[in-house]
Amino acid sequence: MLNSLEDKISLFTKVIIERIELDFQKKRKKLLKYYENRKVTIIKDNEERKKAAIASATKEAKTKKQQMILSARSAMHLEVLKKKREFTERIMEEVKKKTRTFTGTAEYIEFLKEAIKQVLSMFSDDQFVNFNFSRDDIKNNQKVILSSIKSFRDEDTYKIEADNSLMGGVFAKSSDGRLEIDFTVNSIIEDSKKLIGEFLSSWLNEER
């Protein structure tokens, strides 16, 4: 009887142990599968995060590069404008110096006569004309001015005034204000300034 009971206990114990081992193996496989899947998910997440980080860093680097390029271009453009302005001012100052010298020469007298002639040709005889000359011309070249105008017009058809802003030449305007003719040294210098600016822009662009 004892042997039979012991046999049953042994058998029962064996069955229990086998079931425990089977459950353990099932749980082990399930855990291994879970952790394997988890490992794959973690690796995939890490790869995606890595890719996202690389993409973000690449995008940020490109943005910074573009900003640096734009900043450099802007700085270069400002430097070109600065050089252009400096060169223009230096050249214009030299032009003005030479112009002041020119207005005291015999060549300028001929220029002034021709300027008056060209201006008068633009007005009809019945128009009253207001003439503006530089103060220096009124002082030093009044006879030339009067003789040039009187060659074409009567004394009661014009008026002469000094303009402190003028460097030379002549500015004429009809009394009704409809016609203005600018044949002054100032306008010639201003036109020269535009040409100088265009030349400097072309030259500075070639230098870059």
Fold of 100-195: hypothetical protein PF0899 fold (3.30.2320)
**pLDDT in the model for residue 1:** 47
Enumerate residues 6+ apart whose C-beta is below 8 A from 208.
Answer: 76, 80
Q: Where are the domains of the chain?
A: 100-195
**pLDDT in the model for residue 24:** 61
Going by pLDDT thresholds of 50, 70 and 90, the confidence category of residue 115 is very high
Q: What is the pTM of this model?
A: 0.57
Burial class (CB in 10 A: 0-12, 13-18, 19+), 199: middle
Is the model's pLDDT at 168 over the cut of 90?
Answer: yes
The more confidently predicted of residues 73 and 177 is 177
